[in-house]
């Protein structure tokens, strides 16, 4: 029997306890150590005053996972946290990549509420139909591939959720994305811009594809772009699923 | 001040309490009545023994929302539940559609863990990169549009999550979807087939695009199809995000 510890890759959701799953909370609470990017450990440390918490800086994902692996090999149960869902652009992949076949370490991914889900819930019901999620960060992905995906998503009349739309060093991509969307989607397509979804300072605007660049968009923003049926009513953004074709009401 | 009740559209996640958020649980617990499709109310009724629960049959989405609206107008706080996230192919949209501007009813959507997220966590880390979610149900959407979206998703090398892949009356779509995927994706692309994710009788297989039809696929199945970088290791399906290009380890 292995005396290695177990690794839980935990999606914490937006950050507040209210938006965590019971399982995510329990796994963090019962781990010997919680490890994560400092922005995320800062969000949750108040809920686990008696647990050791180790923070690391951004861009240190590989080092963070190697540290987690070492801790597990030393017999510790470790919760490696991601905001949102650890399985969506989160830490689950890199953790599995780093573990070797003969490491004999058990890994469990605990799903969470993603940024897209949290943002959608705030602005109404924009994602009632087929949708794509695209990160505009070209740190790990070629910009040409990202552009191609934007093009295909717009052609398919998908609802589009944009992650990492803008950062300090990367300001032009969101304008290029808008331009690509406008080739296929109406300029009046409803767009929701949600900053800090589910966190302090949560803010959002509902605007249109044409006017979306008039609002603040930063690294902590999710941009949701509707499909051809999306509309705005009572300040909420709604994509009908199609019941009105089927039933009368 | 309105004496109307409030409507909470609650995503319960896969169904177990462990996978609910604290907020979802609290909203259900504190509502006067929980309303939902019988399959879902059956999943959660044990957690709320003191709350009135009303079930309705499938295909009765509009009637269900009208009933919820009537209850709220009668001063009741109502939790209308969806499995997964109420904002992803769930009840949030139809609820908002039905409420009129002068109804003076407050609606709040409580996000949850979606079926895609739950399925992904079970099989490893398949969704570490841009992905699309497509429902193969042509009950409310033309099959031609669904096929076009499959085509574009495959062209864009997106990870693909298929909802409602098959039902009793609808058996051929999944084979057509596979054929479209094979036009652009390698026959060796890893595919995860997850039945009853997060529920009793949870089962999954990891296979390939070529062989995916050899396994049981039904209405309660999520089919996850990788991108060109997805691979299988130690029985887990992993889509690398691209750190290996950036860092050595």
CA distance, residue A110 to nearest chain B CA (Å): 6
| A102 lies in the same domain as A30 | yes
pLDDT at position A147 over 70 = yes
Confidence of residue A244 (pLDDT cuts 50, 70, 90): low
> What pLDDT sits at residue A57?
75
Q: Give me the mean pLDDT over the A93-110 stretch.
A: 93
Q: Is residue B248 part of a domain?
A: no
Tell me: do A96 and A190 sit in the same domain.
no
Min Cα–Cα distance to chain B from A142, Å: 10
Among A18, A140, A246, whose Cβ lies nearest the Cβ of B241? A140
CB A167 within 8 A of CB A137: yes
Scanning every residue of chain A, which has its alpha carbon at the shortest distance from the alpha carbon of B26? A18
pLDDT tens per residue across span B172-220: 999 999 999 999 999 999 999 999 999 999 999 999 999 999 999 999 9
Confidence at A204, pLDDT banded by 50, 70, 90: very high
Tens digits of per-residue pLDDT, B25-46?
999 999 999 999 999 999 999 9
Residues in B closer than 8 angstroms to A101, CB to CB, are 233-234
Helix H, strand E, coil C: the string for chain A is: CCCCCCEEEEECECCCHHHCEHHHHHHHHHCCEEEEEHHHHHHHHHHCCCCEEEEECCCCHHHHHHHHHHHHHCCCCEEEEECECCCCCCCHHHHHHHCCCCCCCCEEEECCCCHHHHHHHHHEECCCCCEEEEECCCCCCCHHHHHHHHHHHHHCCCEEEEECCCECCECCHHHHHHHHHHHHCCCCCEEEEEECCCCCCCEEEEEECCCHHHCCCCCCEEEEECCCCCEEECCEEECCCCHHHHCCC
Facing residue for A111 by CB, picked from B97, B113, B146? B113
- Are A135 and A188 in the same domain? yes
Q: Are residues B142 and B204 in the same domain?
A: yes
**Is there a single domain that holds both residue B95 and residue B128?**
no
Q: Confidence class of residue B167 from pLDDT cuts 50, 70 and 90?
A: confident
Assigned domain for B25 exists: yes
Q: Which residues of A touch B148 (CB under 8 A)?
A: 156
Nearest chain B Cα distance for residue A216, angstroms: 24
Alpha-carbon span B186 to A124, nearest angstrom? 38
Residue B191 in contact with residue B154, Cβ under 8 Å?
no
Q: Is the pLDDT of residue B248 over 50?
A: no
CB-based contacts of A141, cutoff 8 Å, min separation 6: A135, B129, B130, B242
CATH number for the domain spanning A107: value is 3.40.1010.10
Give dist(CA A243, CA B2) in Å, integer: 29
**B118 to chain A: which residues are within 8 Å by CB?**
111
CB contacts, 8 Å: B94 with chain A: 128, 240-241, 243
Sort out which chain A residues have CB atoms less than 8 A from B25's CB and list them.
22
Q: B152 CA to chain A: closest CA distance, Å?
A: 6
Range of the domain at A213: 116-238
Is B33 in a helix, a strand, or coil?
A: strand
> Which one of A64, A80, A113 terminates a domain?
A113
Over residues B125-134, the mean pLDDT reads: 98
Q: Same domain for B120 and B195?
A: yes
Can you read off the two tokens belonging to residue A134?
Answer: 């695209």
Range with the poorest average pLDDT among A243-247, B8-12, B154-158, B218-222: A243-247
**Domain holding B140: CATH number?**
3.30.950.10
Q: Domain ends where: B85, B113, B141?
A: B113
Residues of A with CB below 8 A from B87's CB?
Answer: 117, 120-121, 125-128
Distance from C-alpha of A181 to C-alpha of A208, rounded to nearest angstrom: 12
CB contact under 8 A, B243 and A141: no
8-state DSSP, B21: B
Residues B179 and B221 in one domain: yes
Same domain, B108 and B122: no
Question: Among A132, A145, A184, which would you mutate to test the B interface (most chain B Cβ atoms within 10 Å of its Cβ)?
Answer: A132
Q: Residue B245 pLDDT > 70, yes or no?
A: no
- What confidence tens digit (pLDDT) does each residue in B68-107 have? 999 999 999 999 999 999 999 999 999 999 998 888 999 9
pLDDT of amino acid B96: 96
Query: B85 and A117: CB-CB below 8 Å?
Result: yes
User: Is B22–A25 a contact, with Cβ atoms under 8 angstroms apart?
Assistant: yes
Q: How far apart are the first and last CA of chain A?
A: 61
Q: Is A16 a domain residue?
A: yes
ipTM: 0.95
Report percent pLDDT > 90 for chain B.
87
CA distance A15 to A23: 15
**What number of other Cβ atoms are within 10 A of residue B108's Cβ?**
14
Of B125, B133, B149, the CB nearest to A87: B125
Task: Please choose, from the candidates B125, A70, B97, B219, the residue with its C-alpha nearest in 3D space to the C-alpha of residue A54.
Answer: A70
Asked if B90 and A135 come within 8 Å (Cβ–Cβ), the reply is no
| Predicted local distance difference test score (pLDDT) of residue A248 | 42
DSSP one-letter code for B17: G
A62/B152 CB distance under 8 A? no
What is the tally of structural domains in chain B?
A: 2
Residues B23 and B103 in one domain: yes
Lowest mean pLDDT among A66-80, A94-108, A197-211: A94-108
Does B108 reside within a domain? yes
Q: Is A101 found in the same domain as A125?
A: no
CB atoms within 10 A of CB B49: 7
User: Across the A/B interface, how many CB contacts are shorter than 8 Å?
Assistant: 237
Residue A243 has pLDDT above 70, yes or no: no
Residue B226: list chain A partners with CB under 8 A: none
Same domain, A96 and A189: no
Residue B246 lies in a domain: no
β-partners of residue A9 are A80, A109
Rounded to an integer, what distance in angstroms lies between the CA atom of residue A27 and that of residue A8? 7
Two structure tokens written together for B41 = 């109310």
CB contact under 8 A, B85 and A113: yes
| Tokens, residue A210 | 């044409």
In a domain, B134, yes or no: yes
Residue A76 Rama label (left phi>0; alpha psi -120 to 50; beta) = beta
Give dist(CA B186, CA B178) in Å, integer: 11
Give a yes or no: residue B227 inside a domain: yes
Among the partner-chain residues A22, A66, A239, the one whose CB lies closest to the CB of B93 is: A239
User: Which residues in chain B touch residue A232, judged by CB atoms under 8 angstroms apart?
Assistant: none
Work out the mean pLDDT of chain A and round it to a whole number.
Answer: 94
Residue-wise pLDDT for A10-36, tens only, equals 999 999 999 999 999 999 999 999 999
A117–B112 C-beta distance less than 8 A: yes
**A112-143 pLDDT per residue, tens:** 999 999 999 999 999 999 999 999 998 889 99
Q: Which residues of B touch A236 (CB under 8 A)?
A: 96, 107
CB contact under 8 Å between A243 and B95, yes or no, is no
Closest-CA distance, B193 to chain A, in angstroms, reads 16
Instruction: Indicate the residue of B141, B156, B158 with minimum beta-carbon distance to A242.
Output: B141
The verdict on B76 and B53 lying in the same domain is yes
Nearest CA in chain B to A113: B113
Residue B1 domain flag: no
Which whole-number Å values give the CA distances from A186 to A225, A227, A228, B218, in the listed order?
11, 9, 7, 36
Beta carbons within 8 Å of A114's beta carbon, 6+ residues apart: A11, A84, A85, A88, B114, B117
Domain-ending residue, one of B86, B113, B140: B113
């Amino acid at each position: 029997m292995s005396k290695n510890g177990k690794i839980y890759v935990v999606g914490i959701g937006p950050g507040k306890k209210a938006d965590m799953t019971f399982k995510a909370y329990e796994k963090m609470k019962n781990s010997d150590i919680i490890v994560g990017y400092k922005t995320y450990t800062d969000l949750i440390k108040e809920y686990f005053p008696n647990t050791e918490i180790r923070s690391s800086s951004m861009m240190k994902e590989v080092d963070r996972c190697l540290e987690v692996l070492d801790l597990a090999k030393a017999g510790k149960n470790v919760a490696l946290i991601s905001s949102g869902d650890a399985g969506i652009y989160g830490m689950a992949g890199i953790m599995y990549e780093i573990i070797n076949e003969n490491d004999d370490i058990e890994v469990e991914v605990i799903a969470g509420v993603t940024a897209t889900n949290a943002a959608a819930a705030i602005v109404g019901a924009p994602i009632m139909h087929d949708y794509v999620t695209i990160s505009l960060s070209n740190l790990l992905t070629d910009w040409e591939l990202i552009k191609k995906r934007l093009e295909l998503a717009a052609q398919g009349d998908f609802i589009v959720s944009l992650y990492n739309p803008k950062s300090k060093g990367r300001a032009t991509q969101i304008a290029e994305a808008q331009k690509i969307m406008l080739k296929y989607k109406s300029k009046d397509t409803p767009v929701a811009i949600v900053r800090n979804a589910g966190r302090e300072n949560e803010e959002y605007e509902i605007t249109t594809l044409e006017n979306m660049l008039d609002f603040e968009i930063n690294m902590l923003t999710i941009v949701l772009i509707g499909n051809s049926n999306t509309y705005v009513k009572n300040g909420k953004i709604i994509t009908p699923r199609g019941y009105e074709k089927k039933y009368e009401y």
